[in-house]
């Protein structure tokens, strides 16, 4: 006994004796436990007694540590108990357990170890119970391991350290067996692996070092081998991804069943690396089974699998989306080519483009999880091919652009009365998507404006449909883009109102409106520019025109009305020998015909003079009346179907046609400006505005910076040509909006 000689009432010698007595009992019961465990813990016949004895032991330990007069004695006692129990365990392990386990191999090792470990866990459990008080009283305050840790350490040094390498080998071999397709005892595996975890006490360090790392190594090597063999198989590339999928599932299951929970992610990522990352290029670019091939054969399921797998790895989808992009680009270019050879089928081209677009929407949604990489890929592909111009083979000066085609497509759709509103909505949505890819959006606007004006004024069109598309465009491009279009529709809608007010005004002022006279006021800025012909109207028309002008002027101040007669139509009642007819004609045609109310024969040039029209116009008008389908006029002299100034015409009294009411197709209306030219002009203005705006804000900028800034701002509307910007800058310098810096010729300054 290592006690200090104490002077005092309690005799340390006494205590020492008492202690040893108690110890004998404790030792005995602990030994009993060890024997029991060693024999496999068959339930002892005197099970209850066993429990009672353990309780007794617990109490005695407790007493030894507490019920004495000196605290120091208690501590000493606890220390002794601790040390001696430790010795007992060590002795037991050394003598009984270690030899069972060391130098065993394979399954035998596993079995023995399993047994030993199970046993030891029991020892720990009961030992902790018996010596429980030590944990409360002693270990905490004296910087020693608590009982559990202490006992585990005993096992660690006695057993674990000696067999850990062998154990790891065995386990890995089992894993290999299982991967080969054999079944193994997973429970044993789990327990054995759990040993590593427990041996690490609080951290996973031991587990990771002694087991996980070798395990991952083996796993990596295994899959390296497998992937190489799979790929080198004949036709192996087709089944490769399926196999990868299987392997990943398997490994995940395996980790869940017997590895520690933290290992799952490590394992999976390792496998992914060996199977997917290493072979990424090989798999994706394979000519027979790679992404492109799958797209060509539209193997959506395979593509889906490919996506799922490669989505797991870092940067996995980059290559794949690149391939998708290039493929879509090729498909697009093929469409371009197809529709360029021969007459450009406008509708067909847009239909094909929309179809292509749709095809991928479905694919992305169902198989690619709507992943943004692919939407981006499709966008760049479309932006490339849709903006290539289709060159008509006739060698016309104007190349046909997709801006024009898309606009014409819309035009056709709006005029198509057979289409249902739902169908229309769906198609409009798709059209707007296609629209976003076009770079020359301002050119589209010009074409659309021109065509819409025709629709609104001449043909019939559904206002709601028009508005629907306009609002969609507005959403994409902002209000300034669609302001003119909206203005046009508003004008048209106001037309009815204005007409009503006009008639009321006339009634009020007692003016008579001789015939059914309708006007439509167009606000100049919104509508495309129409050619204004200086018509000298016939009397019938003139008075009504005057009335309307008066009405309009009193309604609004400071506005000037200009009459666009080229857009007007008239319905005339005509008396022919063979019956009365109603003739729908243009204003000019009406003028010509009305002249014949007063004279029978009129010379062409006189007509021109009477109405103050250029001869070209009269020529066309008369031609349509005399040499068209409905020959209401007849020339006095015979000859070619060309109108000369000196030609004299008269009404063809014998004219007959089965229809009672018919329209005489007129002269081709004066084309209100070529959209290309208009767009070029507006681009110049917009570019200049952009330059001035930027310079005003920044005061001073270098040439490159100015260019970059302008390109950025303008690409919203169209693709700006750097040359154009340069030219505008020069022009602005000339007009003293900007100047070059004297010392640095690349720097511009804003001149206020």
Residues that bind other proteins (CB under 8 A): 702-704, 723, 726-727, 729-730, 733-735, 740, 742-743, 745-746, 748
Q: Minimum CB separation from other proteins for residue 401, in Å? A: 24
Q: What is the DSSP string of 622-646?
A: HHHHHSSSS--EEESS---S---TT
- Name the residue with tokens 């400071």: 558
Q: Minimum CB separation from other proteins for residue 703, in Å? A: 3
Contact indicator for 339, 390 with CB cutoff of 8 Å: yes
Beta bridge partners of 219: none
Q: Which residue, 474 or 698, has its beta carbon nearer to other proteins? A: 698
Spatial distance between the Cα atoms of 560 and 576, rounded to a whole number of angstroms: 41
Q: Which residue, 644 or 724, has its beta carbon nearer to other proteins? A: 724
129: how many CB neighbours lie within 10 A of its CB? 15
Q: Minimum CB separation from other proteins for residue 704, in Å? A: 6
Q: Minimum CB separation from other proteins for residue 586, in Å? A: 41
Contact indicator for 473, 432 with CB cutoff of 8 Å: yes
Q: Which residue, 434 or 695, has its beta carbon nearer to other proteins? A: 695
Spatial distance between the Cα atoms of 535 and 521, rounded to a whole number of angstroms: 18
Q: Which residue, 242 or 727, has its beta carbon nearer to other proteins? A: 727
Q: Minimum CB separation from other proteins for residue 734, in Å? A: 5
Q: Which residue, 164 or 728, has its beta carbon nearer to other proteins? A: 728
Rounded to whole angstroms, the maximal C-alpha distance in the chain is 160
Q: Minimum CB separation from other proteins for residue 709, in Å? A: 14
Q: Which residue, 326 or 705, has its beta carbon nearer to other proteins? A: 705
What does the block give as tokens for 504? 């009321």
Q: Closest Cα to residue 590, out of 572, 602, 614?
A: 572
- Name the residue with tokens 């290592």: 2
What does the block give as tokens for 92? 């037991």
Q: Minimum CB separation from other proteins for residue 710, in Å? A: 13
* Residue-level length of the chain: 752
What does the block give as tokens for 354? 């929309």
Spatial distance between the Cα atoms of 411 and 461, rounded to a whole number of angstroms: 10
Q: Minimum CB separation from other proteins for residue 732, in Å? A: 10
Q: Which residue, 142 or 746, has its beta carbon nearer to other proteins? A: 746
Q: Minimum CB separation from other proteins for residue 727, in Å? A: 5
What does the block give as tokens for 496? 């009815």
**Measured between alpha carbons, how far apart are the two ends of the chain, in Å?**
105
Q: Which residue, 418 or 745, has its beta carbon nearer to other proteins? A: 745
Spatial distance between the Cα atoms of 432 and 182, rounded to a whole number of angstroms: 59
Spatial distance between the Cα atoms of 77 and 29, rounded to a whole number of angstroms: 18
Contact indicator for 24, 79 with CB cutoff of 8 Å: no
Spatial distance between the Cα atoms of 469 and 445, rounded to a whole number of angstroms: 12
Q: Minimum CB separation from other proteins for residue 297, in Å? A: 47
Q: Which residue, 539 or 704, has its beta carbon nearer to other proteins? A: 704
- Name the residue with tokens 């007992």: 88
What does the block give as tokens for 88? 């007992």
Is residue 176 packed enough to be buried (19+ CB in 10 Å), middle (13-18) or exposed (0-12)?
middle
Q: Which residue, 693 or 726, has its beta carbon nearer to other proteins? A: 726
Q: Which residue, 17 or 726, has its beta carbon nearer to other proteins? A: 726
Q: Minimum CB separation from other proteins for residue 746, in Å? A: 5
Spatial distance between the Cα atoms of 434 and 387, rounded to a whole number of angstroms: 11
């Amino acid at each position: 006994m290592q006690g200090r000689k104490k002077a005092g009432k309690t005799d340390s010698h006494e205590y020492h004796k008492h202690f040893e007595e108690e110890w004998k009992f404790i030792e005995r019961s602990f030994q009993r436990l060890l024997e029991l465990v060693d024999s496999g813990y068959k339930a002892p016949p005197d099970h209850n007694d066993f429990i009672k004895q353990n309780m007794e032991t617990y109490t005695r330990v407790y007493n030894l540590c507490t019920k004495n007069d000196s605290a120091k004695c208690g501590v000493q006692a606890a220390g002794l108990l601790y040390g001696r129990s430790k010795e007992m365990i060590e002795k037991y392990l050394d003598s009984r357990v270690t030899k069972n386990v060391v130098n065993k191999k394979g399954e035998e090792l596993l079995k023995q170890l399993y047994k030993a470990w199970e046993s030891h866990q029991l020892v720990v459990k009961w030992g902790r119970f018996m010596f429980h008080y030590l944990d409360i009283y002693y270990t905490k305050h004296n910087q020693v391991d608590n009982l559990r840790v202490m006992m585990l350490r005993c096992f660690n040094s006695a057993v674990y350290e000696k067999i850990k390498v062998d154990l790891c080998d065995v386990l890995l071999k089992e894993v290999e067996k299982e991967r080969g397709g054999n079944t193994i005892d997973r429970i044993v595996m789990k327990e054995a692996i759990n040993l590593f975890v427990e041996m690490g006490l609080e951290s996973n360090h031991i587990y990771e070092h002694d087991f996980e790392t070798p395990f991952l190594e083996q796993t990596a090597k295994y899959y390296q081998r497998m992937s190489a063999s799979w790929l080198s198989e004949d036709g192996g590339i087709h089944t490769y991804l399926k196999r990868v999928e299987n392997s990943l599932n398997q490994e995940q299951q395996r980790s869940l069943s017997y590895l520690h929970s933290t290992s799952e992610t490590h394992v999976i990522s390792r496998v992914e690396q060996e199977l997917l990352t290493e072979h990424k290029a090989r798999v994706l670019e394979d000519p027979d089974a790679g992404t492109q091939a799958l797209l060509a054969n539209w193997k959506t399921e395979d593509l889906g699998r490919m996506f799922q797998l490669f989505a797991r790895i870092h940067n996995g989808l980059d290559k794949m989306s690149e391939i998708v992009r290039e493929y879509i680009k090729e498909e697009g270019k093929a469409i371009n080519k197809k529709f360029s050879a021969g007459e450009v089928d406008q509708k067909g081209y847009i239909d094909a483009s929309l179809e292509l677009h749709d095809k991928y929407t479905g694919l992305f949604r169902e198989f690619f999880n709507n992943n943004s990489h692919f939407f981006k890929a499709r966008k760049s592909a479309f932006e490339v091919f849709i903006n290539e111009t289709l060159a008509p083979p006739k060698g016309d000066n104007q190349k046909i652009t997709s801006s024009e085609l898309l606009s014409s497509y819309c035009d056709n759709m709006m005029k198509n009365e057979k289409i249902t509103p739902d169908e229309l909505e769906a198609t409009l949505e798709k059209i707007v998507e296609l629209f976003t890819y076009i770079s020359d959006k301002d050119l589209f606007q010009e074409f659309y404006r021109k065509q819409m004006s025709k629709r609104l004024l001449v043909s019939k069109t559904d206002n709601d449909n028009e508005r629907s598309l306009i609002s969609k465009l507005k959403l994409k491009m902002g209000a300034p883009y669609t302001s003119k279009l909206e203005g046009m529709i508003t004008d048209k809608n106001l037309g009815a109102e204005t007409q009503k007010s006009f008639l009321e005004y006339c009634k009020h002022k007692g003016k008579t409106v001789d015939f059914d006279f309708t006007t439509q006021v167009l606000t100049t800025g919104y509508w495309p520019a129409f050619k204004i012909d200086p018509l000298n109207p016939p009397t019938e028309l003139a008075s009504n025109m005057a009335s309307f002008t008066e009405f309009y002027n009193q309604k609004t101040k400071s506005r000037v009305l200009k009459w666009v007669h080229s857009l007007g139509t008239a319905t005339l009642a005509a008396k022919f020998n063979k019956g009365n007819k109603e003739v729908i004609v243009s204003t000019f045609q009406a003028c010509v015909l009305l002249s014949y109310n007063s004279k029978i024969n009129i010379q062409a040039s006189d007509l021109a003079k009477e109405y103050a029209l250029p001869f070209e116009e009269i020529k066309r008008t008369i031609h349509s009346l005399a040499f068209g389908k409905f020959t209401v006029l007849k020339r006095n002299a015979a000859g070619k179907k060309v109108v000369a100034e000196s030609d004299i015409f008269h009404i063809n009294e014998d004219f007959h046609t089965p229809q009672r009411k018919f329209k005489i197709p007129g002269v081709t209306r004066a084309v209100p400006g070529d959209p290309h030219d208009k767009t070029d002009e507006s681009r110049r203005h917009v570019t200049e505005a952009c330059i001035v705006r930027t310079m005003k804000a920044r005061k001073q900028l270098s040439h490159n910076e100015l260019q970059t800034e302008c390109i950025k701002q303008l690409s919203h509307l169209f693709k700006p040509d750097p040359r154009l910007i340069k030219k505008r800058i020069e022009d602005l310098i000339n007009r003293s909006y900007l100047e070059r810096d004297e010392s640095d010729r690349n720097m511009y300054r804003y001149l206020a």
